[in-house]
């Protein structure tokens, strides 16, 4: 098993690149089935979701779609600050659009809760959420429960495949869990 030591923390490989690819394909197949007759707008939540989004949108079949980006931040190191900051705001008109938010991980759900409200306030016809990872035990906002989930995880902190630790480790090809 591959391991990484970073800033005094020990991480162990949890999902291999092959497992990640299978999860992405499963999510893509479900989205393809639901959106082949629609014209969805994918809203990719930067920074973390860029790796998942790149693989996911290329794995879709027969989905005529647009993709745009939004950048928010609520974390510092391993802890949430509870405040959502729009660093790159929404630049696309979402009025009457069927929006699918692409996230790397849904933790407390604060980010998705606020983003959904933002998109609905701007007239989105529907808003669904696709996430690579979901921490159901940590969910605090019920409306943030994702519609498409790559893999569920308990409360552990994870890195890789877009997920960072203080800005680093996003480039890992697998997902690693911190070990106490």
Closest distance of CB 111 from ligand IMP, Å? 3
Stretch that binds ligand IMP, among 8-16, 58-66, 89-97, 101-109 (CB under 6 A): 101-109
Which position among 15, 63, 104, 124 is part of the footprint of ligand IMP (CB under 6 A)?
104
Contact between residue 69 and residue 15 where contact means Cβ atoms under 8 Å apart:
no
How many residues lie near ligand IMP (CB under 6 A)?
17
Q: Is 150 in the site for ligand IMP (CB under 6 A)?
A: no
Q: Is 105 in the site for ligand IMP (CB under 6 A)?
A: yes
Closest distance of CB 33 from ligand IMP, Å? 26
Q: Is 103 in the site for ligand IMP (CB under 6 A)?
A: yes
Classify residue 128 as exposed, middle or buried by CB count within 10 Å of its CB (0-12, 13-18, 19+).
middle
Q: How many CB atoms lie within 10 A of CB 94?
A: 20
Angle ∠(69,26,65) on CA atoms, nearest 5:
35
Please name the residues in contact with 121: beta carbons below 8 A apart, sequence gap of 6 or more. none
Q: Which residues are catalytic?
A: 107
Exposure string over 133-148, b if 16+ CB within 10 A, otherwise e = bbbeeebeeeebebeb
Nearer to ligand IMP (CB atom), residue 91 or residue 154: 154
Nearer to ligand IMP (CB atom), residue 74 or residue 125: 74
Which position among 15, 24, 43, 48 is part of the footprint of ligand IMP (CB under 6 A)?
48
Which position among 32, 67, 108, 125 is part of the footprint of ligand IMP (CB under 6 A)?
108
Q: Is 145 in the site for ligand IMP (CB under 6 A)?
A: no
Contact between residue 108 and residue 81 where contact means Cβ atoms under 8 Å apart:
no
For residue 47, is the peptide bond before it cis, meaning its omega torsion is within 30 degrees of 0?
yes
Tell me which residues touch ligand IMP (CB under 6 A). Answer: 48, 74-75, 80, 103-111, 157-159, 163
């Amino acid at each position: 098993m591959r391991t990484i030591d970073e800033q005094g923390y020990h991480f162990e490989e949890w999902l291999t690149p092959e497992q990640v690819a299978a999860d992405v394909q499963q999510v893509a197949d479900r989205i393809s089935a639901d959106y082949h007759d629609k014209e969805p707008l994918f809203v990719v939540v930067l920074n973390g979701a860029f790796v998942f989004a790149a693989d996911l949108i290329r794995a879709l079949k027969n989905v005529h779609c647009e993709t745009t980006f939004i950048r928010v931040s609520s974390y510092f190191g391993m802890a949430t600050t509870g405040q959502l900051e729009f660093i790159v705001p929404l630049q696309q008109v979402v009025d009457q659009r069927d929006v699918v938010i692409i996230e790397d991980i849904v933790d407390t759900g604060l980010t998705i809760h606020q983003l959904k409200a933002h998109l609905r306030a701007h007239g989105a016809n529907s808003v669904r959420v696709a996430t690579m990872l979901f921490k159901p035990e940590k969910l605090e906002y019920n409306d943030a429960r994702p519609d498409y989930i790559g893999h569920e995880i308990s409360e552990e902190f994870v890195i890789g495949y877009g997920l960072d630790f203080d800005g680093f480790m996003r480039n890992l090809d697998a997902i690693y869990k911190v070990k106490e």
